[in-house]
Amino acid sequence: MRFDGAQVSVEVRGSRLSVVRMAGVLDQVTVARLATVAAAQMARCTGHIVVDLGEVRFFGTDDLEALVTVDEAASAAGLRLHLAGIAGREGMLPVGIAAALARFSMFPTVEHAERELIGRVPAVATTSSPRSSSVWPCSPLVVTDGVRGARTGTVRSGG
């Protein structure tokens, strides 16, 4: 089998949210594979499918018709398809690709999408225990005066 420069994975975050992650190259071949994986999630999800393009390093097509078809099928089934991970890169994309992506509902990150779509803070932001045995636990975040900071100090943004 020939490696086409892309990887697609699925993360189920509950019955109302599935995340399809794309990494590598998004071109004519890989967008079709991405659409197939996203379409398969329609049978497993009752709410939202978020396609995370944050790890796509090269956009080689502005023909997203395969994803448009999945979006339309999701709408017909009472689901919503969203894109995430494009924030901050829109200005670097060719006009045709940016215009094709603009057709979709978009969020800066999957975590933003999860918070806004199902009203839940992602588990990785609320737990202090490691997700696997190879991850070192961080000290838990504490909230002081509405500002999140590490246990040893407070992180403030702005001035």
* Structural domains present in the chain: 6-126 (3.30.750.24), 128-159 (no CATH)
Residues 14-50 pLDDT 10s: 889 999 999 999 999 999 999 999 999 998 888 999 9
For residues 155 and 49, the model is more confident at: 49
Cα–Cα distance measured from residue 109 to residue 98, given in angstroms and rounded to the nearest whole number: 17
Cα–Cα distance measured from residue 148 to residue 138, given in angstroms and rounded to the nearest whole number: 14
Judge whether residue 158 has pLDDT over 60.
no
121 — pLDDT class (breaks 50, 70, 90): low
Cα–Cα distance measured from residue 29 to residue 27, given in angstroms and rounded to the nearest whole number: 6
Tokens of 96: 């045709």
Helix axes 28-40, 65-76, angle to 10 degrees: 10
Q: Which pLDDT value is given to residue 15?
A: 87
Strands 6-12 and 17-26 turn out to be antiparallel
Lowest mean pLDDT among 60-69, 70-79, 120-129, 133-142: 133-142
2 — pLDDT class (breaks 50, 70, 90): low
Lowest mean pLDDT among 37-41, 111-115, 116-120, 131-135: 131-135
